[in-house]
A and B are shown apart, each in its own frame.
Chain A
Amino acid sequence: MAHRVPPQPHEWITRDRKVRFSFEGEPVAAYPGDTITSALLASDHTLLGRSFKYHRPRGILSAANHDSNVLLQTATRTNVRADVEMPLDGEAYTAVNTHGGLKRDWGQLLEALSPVLPVGFYYKAFFRPRWLFPLWERLIRRASGLGWVSTDFPPTRQATHRVYVDCLVIGGGAAGLAAASALLDHGLTVIVIDENARLGGRLHYSRSEAEASRDWLATTLSRLESAAEAELWTQSVAVGWYSDHEVPVVRADGIHLVTARAIIVATGVIETPAVFRNNDLPGVMLASAAQRLVRRYGVAPFEDGIVLAGNASAYEAAIDLKRDGLRITTILDLDLPTTRGDRAVEAEAEGIRVVGPIKHLEARGSRGQLSSVTYNVNGSAHELACDGLLMSVGWAPAGQLLHQARVRFTYDPQLEQVLPSEFPAGIAAAGRVNGRFGLAARIADGEAAGAKILLYFKQVATVVAPPVASIPQSHSRPWFPHPKGKNFVDFDEDIQLHDFSVAYREGFDNVELMKRYTTNGMGPSQGKHSNLNAARILAELQGRSLAEVGSTTARPFYHPVTMGALAGRRLRPRWDSALNGEHTRAGAEWMDAGLWCRPKFYRGGSDAESRLAEYRAVRERLGIIDVSTLGKFEVIGPDAGQLLALCYTSAVDKAAIGMTRYVLMCDQRGIIVDDGVAARIGEQRFYVTAGSSHAQATYRTLTQVAALCRLNVEVVDITRQLAAINIAGPRVRGLLGAVTSQNLSDTSFPFLGVRDAELCGVPVRMMRVGFVGEVGYEIHLPYTQAVHVWRSLMALGAADAILPFGVETQRQLRLEKGHLIVAQDTDGVTHPFETPLAGLVNFKKPHFLGRAALEMLREAPARSVVGFETDYSALDLPIEECHLVVDGSSILGRVTSVGYSPSLGRTIGLAVVTHDFAIGAQRIAIRLTNGALVNARIVPTAFYDPGNTRQQDAA
């Protein structure tokens, strides 16, 4: 049984106090410094989780952040990694992915079905008969997934920190610390990160190395701790590598985006399991897991241990563990023990029996716990009772970050490991990931990596790299086939040895295809323990070398990252109109409009009443709207007209001084991207407006074209320096006449004219626009004067019952005029020849944005924007934007704008339909949300006042 052992020399726990938590409802006590797993093992909980697919009992595997079968759930958190997280006092933990609790999980019944659930079964089943799929989907969704997400979590956000450093050292073991130490005193800043609670890596959990390195570690750590230029981060995981050495590091307080000028990767190696029947029973674990448990937490995970050896380091582990006080009776070697040289002799001298080469290894269990192992040696079968089987057969380099950093790897057949071979500038590797295994070699390799980086920084240094380890550290074939299977390669996804043969036979014979078909490496540990074995198995199936088979790509993130850490702190800029306070006081209902928010309408009575009142105010008396969100640009210089003629489709440069033009901007595919008004203020001076949400892009285009064509022009973005107010209605001239000296008659200030004038004592620019279909003036004025002018106009207009109107009323008014709104009535493929705006394209100009594409698009427009009307009244209007225009079963287009017109007494709208249909069509059929069809008449798009008579001087 698992139990706590007497205090260990450098254990990470403090035994003077207890932390109490519960696991699956049972109370558990831990010492401060314990992980959840170590505390559970100390009180003999060996069943810690259930496997993903067959719900088999699982226990400790690595104790190194790769135990994906021991994920826990609390009320607020899920997939808590028990092998590395410390328990919180009073917290209640349960295992994820169980039905009816961990001990009596009825999900284990699924294992009986395993013969009919071969690899890839879900690709072959479940889609026939089709009508059953919804049932399968429900079942699969319930069965899949691990923990559940509480949507009732406390809404805290973690800031993303940005950190800049000269050299980032990833991995705080012997090599990493030696490398960081070599960088000190050279005027360089250094950060060392490690995922463990303490620095030192293997120097803590290997007894022999701890003894050999005690002085070195103490000296090196104190040197680094006292160095002003060095920072040491523990419990920090580097999860990816991005361009220019940007490494996201996940810490308790969120993500730290570390941008380094150079990085040293000393991430070490990950111990990989052997593959044999029942290799997943609780009690079967990696040898390094047992070492971590006993030396860090003073926990013996078993009573009677056997070591399964596939390399020389297995013998070291066995001897170390025995000296740590654990009972290790036997070493079962996959090869002939004599090939291990002195190691086998040392082990026997320590009182450990050494047996090998073994065949037909199998673990046996009783009540979900390892009870014995059976094997053959020299042709005879044996069975040994044990409750701990420690696998030490090989190591997979933790080279994911190096792969992402485009370091090339080559396979070293001597070492049975891939090694980094070609490095881009400013990156080095050290330690076991770099093929240096012995303590002295790792320290020397770290120093060499430090020297390489010093040379990169053009400092004086000498690189003396130790040789790569000369004996294999990993076994090339650590698996035992068994007719009844249950010899697991991937513990996350319950992938067994024969699954690979099946996948290979069915044609998934490439490493990437096999990964996706078998799902090997696609679980929470992302193949950290399984990918190397999978690649070796595939190499054998293919009869090729591991180097030829290659490996799957390790993308960021290397390790799971919580959504909370990724979300960061949300900082969104917001632009406020000068008049927002006025709108709030007037009862505005707000809507988002890009970075701005705008009044949708002002609440007076019911929603419909409020909108109708605003509408009537504009049509019958006076309405006023804040249009400060428009993009506003001054375009000044000898080439100002030329710039606008290049960016817009029409001959803007031909506009007369004092007049405005409605302008259209296309991109180079001829697609309409923006519209606006260009006002000619002088020979070399224009004032241009742009759509609220496209203003920044329009500014980019104007300045880009100016730079491309080397034009002598300056474009000044004054979008937020100016406010803008549109005031419109039959009585507008009477009102404005009282506050400005500008003559407002048609002769002095014609329709579409622009005038700089004084209004309410403020210098303003006024443009006569007809967007809403009444006489109207767009008044552009300094931001700081906007409130004064708005209030003056509101006070003066009170006699005419002036009302402010919102975006919805504005859209209604312009719809009656048939004016398109770019991005509402047009989409990502609409060009001018599909709209009533074709006349704005002037091919006489040799160059303008979109010209080449438009020449072609003109010939055969695919669609047309048409106007339609129906007899529906305001109350029973069933047509909505995006309802389809249909002909039988074929889709002809969709409604882009629709609304009831009080002035016309009918419903009107715009729709985009296929061009062929639009020619000569009289009616369209619109399909409503409920599937019913309604008919509408096609009519010209200028629904209201088509002759623009309302823009003329009152008689």
Chain B
Amino acid sequence: MKQFRCPILGLRPAQEFICAGSAIEGLLQADSAAARSGVYFGDATARVKREWWYHRPSQLWFLIERDTASDEVMAIELAQPVEDAHGA
């Protein structure tokens, strides 16, 4: 089982997470045609990607930089810093 070394949760098994890829980032794309192409012709090549992973027990989102070819994790961070969420 894949394990992620989370900045605030420590070492957690991948099965506690849901991988959401990076599709959400098309939401803010200004050009509709480009956004559509992202929806229907997403980049499926194996390479280093930044993915959104949701940790179910803590209900927190993480951004994980991962090489999808080797399954190696380069970086992991909270998607929204905790102080942000509290309006600081």
Chain A residues within 8 Å of B, Cβ to Cβ: 242-244, 246, 257, 259, 637-638, 646, 668-669, 699-700, 703-710, 712, 714, 717, 846-849, 851-853, 855-856
Contacts and interface: CB of A to CB of B under 8 A. Distances in A.
A243 B68 CA distance: 12
B10 to A, nearest CB: 12
A877 B33 CA distance: 48
A583 to B, nearest CB: 28
Nearest to A636: B87
Nearest to B79: A707
Contacts of A669: 39-40
Contacts of B20: 700, 704
Contact of A847 (B3, B27, B61): B27
Contacts of A246: 1
A707 B32 contact: no
A87 B3 CA distance: 41
Nearest 10 pairs of A and B residues by beta carbon: A852-B35, A707-B80, A707-B79, A243-B2, A246-B1, A852-B32, A852-B36, A244-B3, A668-B39, A707-B61
B86 to A, nearest CB: 7
Contacts of A851: 32, 35
A700 B61 CA distance: 8
B36 A853 contact: yes
Contact of A708 (B1, B28, B39, B54): B28
30 contacts: A243-B1, A243-B3, A244-B1, A244-B2, A246-B1, A637-B87, A646-B27, A668-B24, A668-B39, A703-B61, A704-B52, A705-B24, A706-B85, A707-B79, A707-B80, A708-B25, A709-B27, A710-B80, A712-B84, A712-B87, A714-B87, A717-B59, A849-B27, A852-B26, A852-B29, A852-B33, A852-B35, A852-B36, A852-B39, A855-B32
A894 B70 CA distance: 45
Given A703-B59, A704-B52, 17 more contacts: A242-B2, A244-B1, A668-B24, A668-B26, A669-B39, A669-B40, A700-B20, A700-B54, A705-B24, A707-B80, A714-B86, A717-B59, A846-B30, A851-B35, A852-B33, A853-B40, A855-B36
B18 interface: yes
A638 to B, nearest CB: 8
B23 interface: yes
B16 interface: no
A847 B31 CA distance: 10
Contacts of A855: 32, 36
Interface string B36-79: 10111000000000001010000101000000000100000001
A668 B27 contact: yes
Nearest to B85: A714
A848 B27 CA distance: 7
Contacts of B30: 846
A706 B80 contact: yes
A227 to B, nearest CB: 25
B87 A708 contact: no
Nearest to A244: B3
A259 B39 CA distance: 37
B14 interface: yes
Interface centre among B29, B52, B85, B86 (most CB of A within 10 A): B85
Nearest to A706: B80
Interface centre among A242, A705, A707, A853 (most CB of B within 10 A): A707
Interface centre among A705, A848, A852 (most CB of B within 10 A): A852
B28 to A, nearest CB: 6
Chain A interface secondary structure, helix, strand, loop or mixed? mixed
A97 B44 CA distance: 46
A572 to B, nearest CB: 15
Nearest to A242: B1
B86 A705 contact: no
A853 B42 CA distance: 13
A575 B71 CA distance: 35
A199 to B, nearest CB: 27
B61 to A, nearest CB: 5
A710 B84 contact: yes
Contacts of A637: 87
B37 to A, nearest CB: 9
Nearest to B2: A243
Contacts of A638: 87
A678 B84 CA distance: 24
A243 B71 contact: yes
Contacts of B61: 700, 703-704, 707
Interface centre among B20, B24, B38, B61 (most CB of A within 10 A): B24
A703 B29 CA distance: 19
A664 B71 CA distance: 36
A264 B5 CA distance: 23
Nearest to A639: B87
Contacts of A708: 24-25, 27-28, 79
A165 to B, nearest CB: 14
A849 B52 CA distance: 16
A161 B88 CA distance: 43
A301 B56 CA distance: 58
Contacts of A244: 1-3
A853 B1 CA distance: 36
B19 to A, nearest CB: 12
Nearest to B63: A707
Contacts of A668: 23-24, 26-27, 39
Interface centre among B39, B71, B86 (most CB of A within 10 A): B39
Nearest to B88: A712
Nearest to A257: B1
A799 B20 CA distance: 53
A375 B23 CA distance: 69
Nearest to B84: A710
Contacts of A699: 59
A636 to B, nearest CB: 9
A506 to B, nearest CB: 34
Interface centre among A257, A646, A853 (most CB of B within 10 A): A853
Contacts of B2: 242-244
A318 to B, nearest CB: 46
A847 B87 CA distance: 23
A862 to B, nearest CB: 15
Contacts of A707: 61, 79-80
Contacts of A712: 84, 87
A705 B27 contact: yes
Nearest to A846: B30
Nearest to A406: B70
Interface centre among A242, A699, A708, A855 (most CB of B within 10 A): A708
Nearest to B26: A668
Nearest to B42: A668
A78 to B, nearest CB: 30
Contacts of A257: 1
Contacts of A852: 26, 29, 32-33, 35-36, 38-39
Contacts of B71: 243
Nearest to B23: A668
Nearest to B1: A246
A155 to B, nearest CB: 26
A242 B80 CA distance: 30
